[in-house]
Amino acid sequence: MIEFEVTLRSSDLFDYNMKHSYSNPVVVLASALACAGVAVGIYKQNYPLLVIAVFLLVYQPATLFIRCFLKGKLPIMKTPFRYTMSDEGVTVEQGEHKQTLPWEHMYKASSTGKSILLYSSPAAAFVFPRDQLGDKEGAVILSICTHMDPAKVRIKS
């Protein structure tokens, strides 16, 4: 059994949202087309195209940043999440609320340079910032790898 606490910050939410958004092929394609639009706009000195392409390139990360910044200021985000990983599943507690999700219900696990992400659905994940896990990071990764199907785990050290 592994127990740890996490207090999510705006930067942690932004890291998760960037990973989640840019894992979507449509967002990646749109960004690539916007980059091409910037290049063509500069090369052909087509300033309306350049302005539109820069807007499209900056829009996604800027809106994610603003949403995460505002969400990070909510009072609920100031209360730490307490996680317990056991053979039965992952239990999350925050204040008076407590929920246990069995390992079988976990959708996938992945990571960024800053966080370990344990998805409970295609659009929802537990975010474990590496800097808050400290020496428990290895145990958390081992627990995830032990209890989940290896095809669902894509965690990089």
pLDDT by residue (tens digit) across 21-33? 998 899 999 999 9
Average pLDDT, the chain: 93
Reply yes or no on whether the pLDDT at 157 is more than 80. Answer: no
Residue 84: partners with Cβ closer than 8 Å, 6 or more residues away: 1, 2, 3, 90, 91, 93
The burial class, CB within 10 Å (0-12 / 13-18 / 19+), for 67 is: middle
Q: What are the angstrom distances between the C-alpha of 149 and each of 14, 37, 39, 83, 152? A: 27, 41, 43, 21, 6
Residue 34 pLDDT: 94
Predicted pLDDT at 37: 94
> What does the pLDDT look like over 45-104, one tens digit per residue?
999 999 999 999 999 999 999 999 999 999 888 899 999 999 999 999 998 899 999 999
**CA–CA dist 7, 128 (Å, integer):** 9
pLDDT value of position 76? 86
